[in-house]
Amino acid sequence: MPNLGDVMPNFEAKTTGGDIKFHDWIGDSWAILFSHPADFTPVCTTELSMAQKMRPEFEKRGVKMIALSVDEVESHKGWIADIKNYTNGEFGYTIISDPKREIAVQLGMIDPDEKDKAGMPVTARAVFIIGPDKKMKLSLLYPATTGRNFDEIIRVIDSLQLTAVKKVATPVNWVPGGEAMVIPPVKDEELASIFPKGVRKETVPSGKNYMRFTTDYQ
């Protein structure tokens, strides 16, 4: 299983959009890869339909979308017809076919506690955010029984893309427009040049100078 900062495996796969080589498919974009236990399953159907509804938000952020399920491409296409029932007939991203679970095993997506009808472990609900450098920027792993929160995934992408280019980190429950925190390597004498609109400091009992907030990052 790749760790944060690792280059994602450049696997080859059959998909609903044709055969791909993962790195070539990503190109110079950000990407999200999210896996599903199986086609024609209830929680997965709610997730893929929500991902479609939020597709404009991913596109606005330059994030390419791709899902993975263990069934064959033709099964995926039949499932998409059901998903469209919840998306006003729209579906505009790709689903990877992984019938032998080779990609799921390679990426550490297997949920050992949940089995399919054949008694095989199913794929968990993994979320991988990948940068243009093909490195994993974030991973989340939900059990098969728990659906994801795509609002949170969008929030995380906003944080990742912000902190990739600005000298800030995002605090608990941060949302775009809220205060971010100045990262520790930035010295106080650099604040005026890096954050000309100002930095707010909070004093703490230790007397240490590290709680520094700013909205000057947009």
Positions marked active-site: 44, 133
State the Cα–Cα distance between residues 35 and 53, nearest whole angstrom. 17
Partner residues linked to 21 by β-bridges: 12
Element (H, E) at 106: helix 102-106
State the Cα–Cα distance between residues 168 and 215, nearest whole angstrom. 10
Element (H, E) at 34: strand 30-36
Integer CA distances (angstroms), 101 to 7, 69, 97, 163, 175, in order:
20, 9, 9, 34, 36
Joined tokens for residue 124: 């968990």
